[in-house]
A and B are shown apart, each in its own frame.
Chain A
Amino acid sequence: MIKEDTLKKVLYIDLSKKKFWIEERDDLFSQFIGGTGVAIKLLHENCKYDTDPLSSDNPIIISIGPLNGLFPIASKTVALFKSPHTGNLGESHAGGRSAIAIRMAGYGAIVIKGKSERPCYIAIHGDRVYFKDATTLWGLEEGVSAASLIRRQESGAGLRTIMRIGPAGEKMITYACVTLETYRHFGRLGLGAVFGSKNLKAVVVSGKRDLKVNDFKGYKECYSNLLKQLAESDKMKKYHELGTPANVMPLSFSKGIPMKNLTISELEGLENISGESFAEKHLGRRVACSHCPVACIHLGALRKPYEDEPYFYRTVYLSYDYELIYALGTMLGVASPEGVLRLIEVVEDMGLDAISTGVVLAWSTEAFEKGLINEKMTEGVIPQWGDVDAYSQLINKIVFSEGEFFKDLGKGIDYASSKYGGKEFALTYGKNEMPGYHTGYGAHIGYLFGARHSHLDSAGYAIDKEAMIKSFDEEQFAEKIITEEYWRQILSSLVICFFGREIYTPQIILQCLKLTGFDLDEKRLTEIGKEIYAEKYRFKIKCGFDVDNIELPQRIFELPSGTGKLNKDFAEKIIGKLKEKIKSLL
């Protein structure tokens, strides 16, 4: 790392004592680069393994890496915490303005500890840190946005990030998200609930500075090359044009997109919620994260009439993506773009993770059909495939109802199905709800063993795509899953958006790292990736995660996947290989 680089600064904030201090951690950054690598070390340091995730002892680690602020599409921030949803490692990534704001404020990581006595928000403007009262921002009624109030109070317009929670975070729903810049999220694993448990409504970060590189001329050349590739390469075209929803139709042809809780493979009217259809009828604007020219964020315009006032409408802009079309569309049998956008609006207003919410509703619908739950429990709302009104009401009730059933749903379907039954069709992996790919062994086993039980851990769907034309044995599947996850530890330590992964080859990454003062070679890089992954697994296991005691949901073996019907024995063989590999790391 370059000597003057502020990346090494870790800002500690104690909400209980309203104190903050800075520690310089060259040791961590020079060894583990930044982002997820540094964050997992800080989590080990700051979180006792038996900590209750919703207690004041659970720290929030927010970190960035050396490439942020220097190279295009290095636009992501990593958050690590103990997850209230799974009880072990919580990890979530977000873009927006966050990474650049933290870099410009002069930090590599922020560690938030303790609990505020009253609702508060933190404002970090460069080296100044303020604890601000947020009692008036807590429990806001619909129509008033905490973020717009904070925007008026704080400086740094244009360069700041405002990370905030909604009602779901305040109520500590275990899959509450943290929203940034209206449209980006620390979505999965419940960081929103951890904010809520600390009486922390928001974190604002801003700053402005110049950074150092080793060779300015070389830097400019490297930068222009990257910018050109990001603009012109076919590898980025998908994200440029239709965005991630470009996947809806191809995945539906191969039966890889889950529908109605994985009970069917065809949904009437699916083409209406394709990327093409959204773009044609609803795409209102495209926006980007800071320092990313791709602008993959697609905002759909939803025109809504006022029921009691003729000729009065409001138009809201909602960010749609493949995962949302899956979770709030196909998974619920909703095949109209307006329906999907309406559900996205409710999920955004509540501040929930869209994937978990969709899968929770899908499980509830099937559980209701099977008579495991009844109308009394659901307080008169009947969950039915395709019924957008009912689903909107249910989402509201998950957050606001005091009823026992909804309190249970607010803990996810691993919890709910252990109480009400229906485990065999509860699509969860290590207690986290399923992402939108029923493509084959790679995807499902990737979710099960990924450090954060996400499709982003090892992108198993890409391995399944390969498996459509090549045949892999159990060893090859296991090796591909784990190798991809090692490599992604590097990308998320830098921190590059995974969408840029094909542009950022190991050679380019080494070149960028050299310019920022990290002299590494490819072998060392791979070793660091492996070590970060091992550190994550060490954390998980110390928190009670048992690799010998997790299994795939029964349902996935019943409906043919994108690569045909899955065989349980073969899945077990891959799992066996993966377990061996993980155990040998520890």
Chain B
Amino acid sequence: MFRFEIITCYNLSMPVFVKDANKCVGCLICMFACGRAHLATGLESSCIKVRSQGGISRGFSVFVCRGCEDPPCARVCPEDALVVRKGGGVLLKEDKCTGCGHCVKACILDAIGWNNGKNKPVICIQCGECAKSCHYKVLEYKRT
């Protein structure tokens, strides 16, 4: 109950945000950390993405869930498989998900991953493991 109040008071969202993508070296350590946070090894169960901005000399962009308070991904889900989380972001009810992929298209940040093996989205769990693993402080994790 107490926790709920804090959340409403401080309007917590964006537990992870991209602080300075210019410092990104493209090592992908955050992507592997995201995979481990989803209890996997590798990149199939990772939702954060790092891509070069048209060639490595131009640097990198990082695509990570900002934990929207009114998330479009949840709104477009025809099966109600994405439940809005208290404090931002969504939770995936895997048994309800049919793998239609609407959520991926609805996310303008491109922050939803796709697990081809399961044919289901990979959703950010707002754990901040990506930010914690980044040596270069590209990402910041804020949770009070």
A181-B60 Cα distance, complex, nearest whole Å: 13
Known: A287-B26, A293-B135, A295-B27. A213 touches B41 (CB 8 A): yes
28 A-B Cβ contacts within 8 A?
A69-B42, A69-B43, A70-B41, A70-B42, A72-B32, A100-B28, A148-B54, A151-B54, A159-B43, A182-B56, A183-B57, A208-B42, A209-B43, A209-B44, A210-B35, A210-B45, A211-B41, A219-B41, A285-B59, A287-B25, A287-B26, A290-B26, A291-B32, A294-B27, A295-B25, A295-B136, A297-B25, A299-B57
A291: chain B residues within 8 A (beta carbon)? 27-29, 32
Taken together as a complex, chains A and B put the C-alpha atoms of A97 and B45 apart, in Å, by: 19
For residue B40, give the distance in angstroms from its CB to the closest CB of chain A.
Answer: 4
Q: Please give me the 9 A-B residue pairs with the lowest Cβ-Cβ distance, nearest first.
A: A288-B27, A295-B25, A158-B51, A210-B42, A317-B57, A288-B25, A210-B44, A210-B40, A211-B42
Q: Is the CB of A212 within 8 A of B27?
A: no
Any B CB within 8 A of the CB of A227: yes
For A208, give its contact among B39, B54, B116 (CB under 8 Å).
B116
The reply to whether A223 and B36 contact each other, CB–CB distance below 8 Å, is yes
Which residues of chain B are within 8 angstroms of A70 by Cβ–Cβ distance?
A: 41-42
* Complex-state Cα separation, A70 to B28, whole angstroms: 12
| A290, B29: Cα distance in complex, Å | 8
Q: For chain B residues 61-94, which have a beta carbon within 8 Å of chain A? A: none
Chain A residues with CB below 8 A from B32, complex form = 72, 291
Query: What is B's interface to A at a CB cutoff of 8 Å?
Result: 25-29, 32, 35-36, 39-45, 49-52, 54-57, 59, 116-117, 133, 135-136
Complex Cα–Cα for A289 and B26 (A) = 7
- Contact residue range for chain A? 35 or more
Near B by CB (< 8 A), chain A positions 98-136 give 100, 104
A→B interface (CB under 8 Å):
69-70, 72, 100, 104, 147-148, 151, 157-159, 181-183, 208-213, 216, 219-220, 223, 227, 231, 285-295, 297, 299, 316-317
Complex contact A293–B27 (CB within 8 A): yes
Rounded to whole Å, the gap between the CB of A344 and the closest CB of chain B is 13
**Chain B: CB-nearest residue to A126:** B116
A230 to chain B, nearest CB (A): 8
Closest to A157 in B: B51
Cβ of A383 to closest chain B Cβ, rounded Å: 30
Q: Are A227 and B29 in contact (CB under 8 A)?
A: yes
Inter-chain CA distance A231–B35, complex, in Å, is 20
> Smallest CB–CB gap between A77 and chain B, Å?
15
- Among B43, B49, B50, B116, the one with the most A-chain Cβ atoms within 10 Å of its Cβ is B43
- Chain A residue with the shortest CB-CB distance to B60: A287
What is the distance, in angstroms, from B85's C-beta to the closest C-beta of chain A? 24
A159 closest partner in B (C-beta): B43
Q: Are B117 and A210 in contact (CB under 8 A)?
A: yes
How distant is the Cα of A216 from the Cα of B56 in the complex, in angstroms?
A: 33
Q: Are A227 and B133 in contact (CB under 8 A)?
A: yes
Chain A residues lying within 8 Å of B49, measured Cβ to Cβ, are: 158
**Complex: A317 Cα to B56 Cα, angstroms:** 10
- CB B127 to nearest CB in A, in angstroms, measures 13
Task: Give complex CA distance A223, B40 in Å.
Answer: 13
B34, chain A: closest CB distance, angstroms? 12
Given the interface contacts A158-B50, A209-B42, does A290 sit within 8 Å of B56 by beta carbon? no
| A231 CB, nearest partner CB in chain B, Å | 5
**Which of B25, B41, B44 is A286 in contact with, Cβ under 8 Å?**
B25
Give the residues in chain A near B133, CB-CB below 8 Å. 227
Chain A residue numbers with a CB within 8 Å of B25 are 286-288, 295, 297
Q: Quick one: closest B residue to A516, CB to CB?
A: B41
Q: Are B116 and A72 in contact (CB-based, < 8 A)? A: no
**Chain B residue at smallest Cβ distance from A297:** B25
A287 to B59, CA, bound (A): 8
Complex Cα distance, B26 from A231, in Å, reads 15
Q: How far is the CB of A489 from chain B (nearest CB, A)?
A: 26
Known contacts A158-B49, A158-B51; is-contact A292 B27 (Cβ 8 Å):
yes
Q: Which residue of B25, B39, B54 has the most chain A CB atoms within 10 A of its CB atom?
A: B25
**Chain A residues within an 8 Å CB radius of B50:** 158
B59 contact set on A, CB distance < 8 A: 285
Contact of B26 among A157, A219, A288 (CB under 8 A): A288
Residues of A within 8 A of B51 (CB): 157-158
- For A72, the closest partner residue in chain B by CB is B29
Additional pairs, 6, CB under 8 Å, beyond known A158-B52, A210-B43? A147-B55, A210-B41, A227-B29, A227-B133, A291-B32, A316-B57
Query: Closest B-chain residue to A207, C-beta based?
Result: B43
Chain A residues whose CB sits within 8 angstroms of the CB of B45 once the complex forms: 210
**B32 → chain A closest CB, angstroms:** 6
Are B27 and A216 closer than 8 Å at their CB atoms? no
Q: Smallest Cβ distance from A547 to chain B, in angstroms? A: 41
Q: Which residues from chain A contact B41 at a C-beta distance below 8 Å? A: 69-70, 210-213, 216, 219
Interchain CA distance A209-B36 in the complex, whole Å: 13
Q: Give min CB distance, A209 to chain B, whole Å.
A: 5
Q: Tell me whether A182 and B57 are in contact in the complex, defined as CB-CB below 8 angstroms, given that A158-B49, A289-B27, A290-B27 are known contacts.
A: yes
Is the CB–CB distance between A209 and B117 below 8 Å?
A: yes
Nearest-neighbor residue (CB-CB) of A147 within chain B: B55
A290 to B52, CA, bound (A): 12
Instruction: Report chain A residues within 8 Å CB of B52.
Output: 157-158
Q: How far is the CA of A207 from the CA of B127 in the complex (A)?
A: 26
Q: Return A15 CB to nearest CB of chain B, in Å.
A: 27
A288 to B56, CA, bound (A): 10
Q: How far is the CB of B51 from the nearest CB of chain A, in Å?
A: 4
| A147 CB contacts on chain B under 8 angstroms | 55
Closest B residue by C-beta to A100: B28
Closest to A515 in B: B41
* In the complex, chain B residues whose CB is within 8 Å of the CB of A289: 27
Contact B43 A208 (CB under 8 A): yes
